[in-house]
């Protein structure tokens, strides 16, 4: 079966500073994968490169075997920060935009997610708290029938109770063969749904392991992750 994502020998520099170096990563269908690393490790940059938003890198990035940006965009759904919309835009207008721009946008699926997130279509972006805005972004992201979902710190403004409900429901919102790559600080909260863990350290993929292997050798995924940085303060 075709790999969902394949990255070969990726190096990215910005303002002559190396952000990522010699990154190699392959993700298979049907996985939920954590992308972990300290602040500034390059997680968001890697997500943006995969999503075709960051350019001028060296190396190869393919999604479902495609290297063309338009083809890659057609197969992935990224937690866009809605920066292209004004604060006066209503949620229902954003939904209409997504319907026009993304042929794979499923309005019925969005409606189910919107109800789950308790979002009002008549609300303007300016009326949304940070947590509600993040819930909207998650709903829009999973309303698309994509092969690869990129979730970049999706829960940071959502309260603990709602966060738990969303995390436990994520597996229901994707097709069986779709893969989710999720970058998050709440390692212990997403640990139970993970199939694999990728850690970015020293500007590259420091490790890529199955979650079960980590669980069998360590107290928890969070414990394994934290021990990588012990003694570095």
Q: What is the predicted pLDDT for the residue at 144?
A: 96
Say if 93 falls within a structural domain: yes
Boundaries of domain holding 212: 5-227
Give the whole-angstrom CA distance, residue 129 versus residue 142.
Answer: 20
227 — pLDDT class (breaks 50, 70, 90): confident
For residue 164, tell me if it sits in a domain.
yes
Confidence of residue 80 (pLDDT cuts 50, 70, 90): confident
Rounded CA separation 175/55 (Å): 29
Question: Looking at residue 116, which CATH number applies to its domain?
Answer: 3.40.50.300
Give the DSSP letter string of 60-96: EEEETTB-SHHHHHHHEEE----TTS-TT-BHHHHHH
Q: Going by C-beta distance under 8 Å and a sequence separation of 6 or more, which residues neighbour residue 92?
A: 121, 122
Q: Give yes or no for a contact between 27 and 208, defined as CB atoms under 8 angstroms apart.
A: no
Residue 233 confidence class, pLDDT cut points 50, 70, 90: very low
Residue 233, domain member (yes or no): no
Instruction: Report the alpha-carbon distance of residue 34 to residue 12 in Å, rounded.
Output: 21
Number of domains within the chain:
1
Taken as a whole, the chain contains a residue count of 233
Res 232: pLDDT: 56
- What is 107-126 written as a DSSP string? HHHHHHHHHHHT--TT-BGG
Q: Is residue 88 part of a domain?
A: yes
Tell me the pLDDT band of 76, cut-offs 50, 70 and 90: very high
For residue 6, the model assigns a pLDDT of 97
232 within some domain:
no
Alpha-carbon distance values, 41 to 37, 132, 145, 216 (Å): 6, 27, 30, 27
More confident residue, 2 or 88: 88
The answer to whether 4 touches 149, Cβ cutoff 8 Å, is no
Phi then psi for residue 179, to 5 deg, are -120, 145
Question: Residue 15 burial by CB count (10 A; 0-12/13-18/19+): exposed, middle or buried?
Answer: exposed
pLDDT at 22: 96
Q: Cα–Cα–Cα angle for 97, 101, 104, nearest 5°?
A: 110
Name the token pair of 169.
Answer: 């429901």
Q: Is residue 154 domain-resident?
A: yes
Q: How many C-beta atoms lie closer than 10 Å to residue 191's C-beta? A: 20
Residues 15-44 have pLDDT tens digits of: 889 999 999 999 999 999 999 998 888 999
SS3 content of the chain, % helix, strand, coil (to 5): 35, 25, 35
User: Is the pLDDT assigned to residue 231 strictly greater than 80?
Assistant: no
Q: Which residues pair with 121 in a beta bridge?
A: none
Judge contact between 137 and 82, C-beta under 8 A.
Answer: yes
More confident residue, 1 or 139: 139
Span 118-160, pLDDT tens digits:
999 999 999 999 999 999 999 999 999 999 999 999 998 999 9
Residue 186 is predicted with a pLDDT of: 80
Domain-embedded: residue 75: yes
The CA dihedral of 151, 153, 113, 69, to the nearest 10 degrees, is -30
């Amino acid at each position: 079966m075709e790999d969902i994502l394949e990255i070969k020998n990726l190096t990215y520099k910005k303002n002559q500073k190396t952000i990522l170096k010699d990154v190699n990563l392959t993700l298979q269908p049907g996985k939920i994968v954590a992308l972990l690393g300290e602040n500034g490790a390059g997680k968001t940059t890697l997500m943006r490169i995969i999503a075709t938003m960051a350019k001028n890198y060296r190396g190869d990035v393919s999604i479902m075997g495609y290297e063309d940006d338009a083809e890659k965009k057609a197969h992935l759904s990224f937690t866009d920060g809605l920066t292209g919309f004004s604060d006066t835009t209503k949620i229902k207008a954003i939904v209409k935009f997504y319907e026009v721009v993304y042929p794979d946008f499923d309005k019925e699926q969005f409606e189910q997610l919107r109800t789950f997130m308790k979002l009002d279509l008549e609300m303007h972006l300016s009326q949304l708290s940070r947590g509600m805005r993040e819930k909207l972004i998650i709903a829009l992201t999973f309303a698309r029938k994509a092969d690869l979902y990129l979730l970049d710190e999706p829960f940071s403004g959502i309260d603990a109770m709602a966060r738990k409900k969303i995390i436990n429901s994520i597996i229901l919102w994707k097709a069986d063969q779709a893969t989710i790559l999720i970058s998050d600080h709440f390692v212990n909260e997403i640990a139970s749904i993970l199939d694999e863990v990728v850690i970015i350290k020293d500007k590259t993929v420091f490790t890529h392991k199955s979650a079960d292997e980590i669980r069998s050798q360590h107290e928890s995924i969070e414990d394994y992750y934290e021990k990588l940085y012990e003694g570095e303060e």
